[in-house]
């Protein structure tokens, strides 16, 4: 499926390509390709509904300092700064030749295409 110009997408089916503007994009189950387009986008990954074992999502246009990566249901008490600096275990981020790769403790991964870890900061992430 390809969806363009929508305002909000919740739990898309597996293997979707999603393109929007100033949007909230929820990864959902399965391996997805996410493209926010222009504007400040929020890429949402819900606990027990996304980033599950074997899932591989790709965010093709994450704009550092503009877009947000939100973990929903992972806990409001998680400090993004401490998590980003590897003081709290909820997965981790490493550099690869294709971009920064987040590995979830639940077995799924997200590639921030063409973004390196050094470009990211804790303020790009939110826990709720």
- How far lies 100's CA from each of 59, 103, 108, in Å? 10, 10, 14
Share of the chain above pLDDT 70, in %: 80
Least confident of 15-19, 83-87, 99-103: 15-19
Under 8 Å between Cβ of 25 and 57: no
Share of the chain above pLDDT 90, in %: 41
pLDDT at position 9 over 60: no
Predicted confidence (pLDDT) per residue in 33-81, tens digit = 998 888 899 999 998 888 889 999 999 999 999 999 998 887 777 888 8
pLDDT for the residue numbered 15: 64
Cα separation, 58 vs 56, in Å, equals 7
pLDDT for the residue numbered 11: 53
| 122 backbone φψ class: left, alpha, beta (φ>0; ψ -120 to 50) | alpha
Cα separation, 48 vs 28, in Å, equals 9
Q: Which pLDDT band, with edges at 50, 70 and 90, does 85 fall under?
A: confident
Residue 85 CA neighbour count, 13 Å, CB half: 6
Which tokens sit at 80? 């993004």
């Amino acid at each position: 499926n390809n969806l363009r110009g929508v305002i909000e997408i919740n739990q898309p089916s597996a293997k979707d390509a999603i393109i929007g503007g100033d949007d909230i994009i929820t990864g959902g189950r399965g391996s997805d390709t996410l493209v926010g387009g222009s504007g400040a986008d929020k890429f949402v990954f819900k606990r027990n509904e996304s980033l599950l074992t074997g899932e591989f999502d790709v965010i093709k246009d994450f704009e550092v300092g503009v877009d947000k990566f939100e973990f929903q249901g992972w806990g409001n008490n998680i400090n993004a700064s401490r998590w980003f600096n590897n003081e709290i275990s909820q997965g981790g981020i490493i550099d690869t030749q294709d971009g920064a790769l987040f590995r979830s403790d639940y077995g799924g991964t997200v590639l921030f295409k063409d973004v390196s870890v050094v470009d990211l900061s804790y303020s790009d992430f939110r826990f709720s």
